[in-house]
Homo-oligomer: A and B are copies of this chain.
Amino acid sequence: MKAKKVRYVWIPVVIALIAVPVGFYYVNWSKGGAGAGLYSRDWLPDAIFAYWNPDDFYESVQSVAGTFKGEECVACHEAVTPGIVKDWRKSRHSQAQKTVYCTDCHGNDHQKLHLPTPEICGGCHTTQHVDFRDEKRYGFPSHSLAMERALDAKHFVDKPKAEVTACLQCHSIATKCDSCHTRHRFNAAEARRPEACITCHSGPPHPDDETYFASAHGQIYLAEGDDWDWSKPLRKGNYKAPTCAYCHMDEGKHQVAEKSIWKFGIREVNPLTSGNEVKRDKWVKLCSDCHEPDWARQKLSEMDAERKRAWRKLYAAEKILKNLRDEKQLHPMAKQRPPYPGDSEHTFMQWERIGFFEGQASAFYNVSPIERDYFEMWYFDNLGAYKGAAHGDPAFVRKGHAAMDAALENIRRNANALRTLDEAEKAAGIRPEAEAFWKQGEYTDYNREHN
């Protein structure tokens, strides 16, 4: 008996020995298309992608031929693009003991020029690059994973390209360094100022711009920041008020994930796990550069309290939607509309995804109106309130919660209306023509053909 049992052990081992390499092979194959990422075979890059994901897509201009030395590049570009040459002259690159020339980053063959990737910059700036890559350990959201997670997201393929390209402009933070250190000055001083971050960190789902500048910190920066000495490192005593980088990249560390407790407000977390207590202590230590430790602890507690309230509201809305789903009162239901991004009409268990854990995040499109309302409550109002609490902008907290209150009321009202309407329609024998109406929509089918 014993020997017989042992023999069966081989079955899963053999399956694994086949499945694992097949899996690897499949993933590799799926990444081998003309696009990039897991769905690379399902889309073609727009030409602008060359600038945002240069490693995969940039192709050098062919109008000039020949190989050149650094001095020659400068001599010619002084006339062609004087602005960037001026920037370079002011940079440490041009003033270093051993001058860093155009060729060091772009290559010297003018028909095979490349745009510098983080790896190229990291050739010299090792510490920064190692820190930057280290963010990956903390998962998404993080700068380091911004591009690949965008490309690997199911909705990337099905979403209209005109809207996707807008996303990638910011997600290119993962694939080039000039999102923060702009060409061709590349100085640290620039990246210490909040504007460097805010090019991307603004707008509805992450109003860091609005909330930081509305805070006491931001207002002091706005009034006086132009007079500060930005060549100084981000360290206790060097700045009257903190900027994004002062708090999130203290001591210049190019890794912003290791202090993150609430993870952008995307999902509820327990802020009091032992892991999060370690992060909390790091924050308190940092705030104590200027404030009493007690003050810092209280501010963080306030933030926890804000989050707790926000999730009460979100869960209340979620429950209403889940009840509607049980009662089949969402119109159109999942099967009456184009499939979710990445799914097909024949996907097993094609049902309405409500809330973060069921995949709400990919439900921007093709959902019923009330699901969209909830999505916006979660994605805009909730995340806005979180940022307000995190950055010390009480007006944004109030605005976000007022909007959540209104959205919840509205969802309640519309849920009742849906039920009443259904009863009325049943009584009158009316059947809404939802199916054809929605399935003819432009999403998914349209986009698969045109992306």
Contacts and interface: CB of A to CB of B under 8 A. Distances in A.
A72 interface: no
A169 B394 contact: yes
A147 to B, nearest CB: 14
A324 to B, nearest CB: 15
Nearest to A226: B226
A424 interface: yes
Contacts of A203: 214, 395-396, 398-399
Interface stretch (A149-157, A278-286, A288-296): A288-296
A379 to B, nearest CB: 9
Contacts of A387: none
A294 B61 contact: yes
A215 interface: yes
Nearest to A413: B369
A82 B240 CA distance: 10
Contacts of A288: 81
Given A216-B182, A290-B81, A413-B369, A295 B51 contact: yes
Interface in A224-245: 224, 226-227, 236-240
A312 B442 contact: yes
Oligomer: number of copies: 3
Contact of A305 (B165, B202, B236, B388): B165
Given A214-B202, A236-B83, A298 B428 contact: no
A369 B406 CA distance: 8
Interface string A301-344: 11001101100100000000000000000000000000000000
A55 interface: no
A148 interface: no
A32 interface: no
A263 interface: no
A185 interface: yes
Given A51-B298, A196-B219, A394-B167, A420 B421 contact: yes
A48 B394 contact: no
Interface in A66-100: 81-87
A162 B394 contact: no
B416 A432 contact: yes
Contacts of A224: 190
A86 B237 contact: yes
A222 B162 CA distance: 28
Contacts of A376: 402, 406
A50 B294 CA distance: 10
